[in-house]
């Protein structure tokens, strides 16, 4: 979810669901230890609960980065052992770490020693030819011995050479039964399933086998799927907001972000000027499945109005839908 689940995206998603955990895009230890910390870690208080996902393989660097995350106010630190991109592999982290469970255990221990919040691991079910269940089981067992209690399982193997990240999300077959079995064999661990889950029916079916479900691209492209999560999964009796209410709730945030001297350091054009598109691009799927959704997307993609930086573009897009937004 690199370049997708930034702070603007998460703030937008938080308007739809009050309780669902949100995760950052992966932030490398190098970016935190040698770059602009505020640019990578700044977020809005409304985003809670929110987890910081780290990429790295040096225990000491991960410990320092995790501590920064805790100091910044994140609720969880998540270690990425699932990203298959070649760029990530060159940094010796991501999915290739599954081949080194002892190192991952050391990383987890170092982070747990450095912070008081939860340290979790996101991983694949295997890498390359190592796609048998026992490979994943042994990886999880070793890392669990270091104190990790939550594992987010992307139920596909990662092919480290020959497939692009996009192909790695589509070509390796989904093997949900691996995650289901993992929960049966490690009942004391929290097992969360990820990968290819698109509907409420899918979520409900998997929750009879595992402790939780993580959505990625489906939540991004069809964010309204999350509108019923609070009542269905968290017991919140408060009614879900309407799509119109979500848009109106975003307007004060957008105006604050676009104001001269705004604190946010991301999503800025040359010269430091904020860009309206850095926020509205995450909202294109809000009307997915509704009549005139295409007109809504077209309005939010109007380059001239985006360049003008006028957030009333969103209200005009609502009006153009010419229907009562449910």
pLDDT profile of the chain (326 residues), mean per 10? 87 98 96 94 96 96 98 98 69 84 98 98 94 97 98 93 78 94 98 96 98 96 97 94 95 91 51 75 95 91 91 90 55
Three-state SS for 95?
helix
Say which residues have a Cβ less than 8 Å from residue 83's Cβ, sequence separation at least 6.
26, 55, 93, 94, 95, 165
> How far apart are alpha carbons 247 and 283 in whole angstroms?
9
Active site residue 81: no
pTM across the whole model:
0.92
Q: Is 289 exposed, middle or buried (0-12, 13-18, 19+ CB in 10 A)?
A: exposed
Q: Which CATH number applies to 7-234?
A: 3.20.20.70
**CATH 3.20.20.70 intervals, the chain:** 7-234
What are the Cα distances from residue 190, in Å, to 68, 142, 151? 25, 15, 6
Q: Which of 83, 96, 107, 148 is catalytic?
A: 83
Give how far the C-alpha of residue 244 lies from the chain's centroid of Cα atoms, to the nearest Å: 24
């Amino acid at each position: 979810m690199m370049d997708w689940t930034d702070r603007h995206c998460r703030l937008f998603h938080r308007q739809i669901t009050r309780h669902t955990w949100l995760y950052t895009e992966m932030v490398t230890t190098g970016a935190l230890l040698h770059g602009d910390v505020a640019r990578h870690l700044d977020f809005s208080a409304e985003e809670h609960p929110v987890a910081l996902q780290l990429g790295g393989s040096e225990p000491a660097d991960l410990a320092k980065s995790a501590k920064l995350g805790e100091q910044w106010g994140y609720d969880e630190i998540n270690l990425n052992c699932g990203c298959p991109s070649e760029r990530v592999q060159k940094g010796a982290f991501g999915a290739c770490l599954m081949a080194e469970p002892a190192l991952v255990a050391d990383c987890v221990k170092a982070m747990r020693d450095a912070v008081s919040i939860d340290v979790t691991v996101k991983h694949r079910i295997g890498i390359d030819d190592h796609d048998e269940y026992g490979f994943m089981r042994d990886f999880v067992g070793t890392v669990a011995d270091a104190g990790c209690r939550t594992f987010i399982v992307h139920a596909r193997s990662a092919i480290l050479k020959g497939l692009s990240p996009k192909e790695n999300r589509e070509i390796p077959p989904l093997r949900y039964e691996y995650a289901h079995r993992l929960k049966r064999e490690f009942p004391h661990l929290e097992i969360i399933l990820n990968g290819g889950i698109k509907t409420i029916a899918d979520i409900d079916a998997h929750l009879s086998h595992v402790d939780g479900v993580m959505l990625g691209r489906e939540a991004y492209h069809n964010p309204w799927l999350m509108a019923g999560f609070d009542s269905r999964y968290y017991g919140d009796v408060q009614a879900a907001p309407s799509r119109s209410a979500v848009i109106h709730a975003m307007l004060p945030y957008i105006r604050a972000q676009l104001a001269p001297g705004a604190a946010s350091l991301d999503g800025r054009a040359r010269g430091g000027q904020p860009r309206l598109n850095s926020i509205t691009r995450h909202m294109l799927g809000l009307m997915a499945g509704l009549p005139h959704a295409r007109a809504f997307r077209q309005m939010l993609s109007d380059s001239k109005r985006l360049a003008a930086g006028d957030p009333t573009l969103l209200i005009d897009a609502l009006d153009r839908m010419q229907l009562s937004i449910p």
